[in-house]
Amino acid sequence: MTTFSTMNDDLHRKDVGEILMEETVICRICLEPIFNFICINCLKKSFSSWLAAKNQKLINEFQVFHDNLLKIFSSDQNQEFCIKCKQMVDAVLCSYCYAKETFWWIFSKDVKLSNKFAKMFNFDFLGTGYMPTIKTRNLEPIIIVNKKEKSDMNICENCGQASSDLREVNGSWLCETCQES
């Protein structure tokens, strides 16, 4: 298990001077930290029950697929505690990576079933995004312009005199006298 340390005081602790450091679990596929770890055996139960309802023929093959993942990603050195089954497990994968591997395994067996899996266990495996696209007829940008009514410079562009009351007239900043003429 690959880990990195954080400044928390609970779970596994190591004394480093006066600072207590915690090891954070890292997924063996994506190398991202895993918080609230759920083991792949618990995930397998959920996926198996869904798969059994959709295609009973794939259950035995799915068990072989799962066993192969267990062999590949198990480690004798490090185990992690599953918050669901309350067991220490040695195959540490995040829920996303296990679901993604399962999705691509189902995809190799049945494309339509994999689409149903992707909708049921929505992790956006295909990178299509979570939000539906908004269809509109006219895509024209709306431009909002804040037009100043007074000038910051206080110098009339017509006569060059300083004035505290300049106004824009036809694109030029004019004093009160030049505005009237």
Q: What pTM did the predictor assign?
A: 0.58
DSSP 24-76: EEE-TTT--EESS---HHHHHHHHHHHHHHH-GGGHHHHHHHHHHHHHHHB-S
pLDDT of residue 11: 42
pLDDT of residue 142: 65
pLDDT tens per residue across span 107-165: 999 989 988 888 888 777 666 655 555 555 665 666 666 655 555 667 888 888 888 77
pLDDT tens per residue across span 47-76: 999 999 998 889 999 999 999 988 888 877
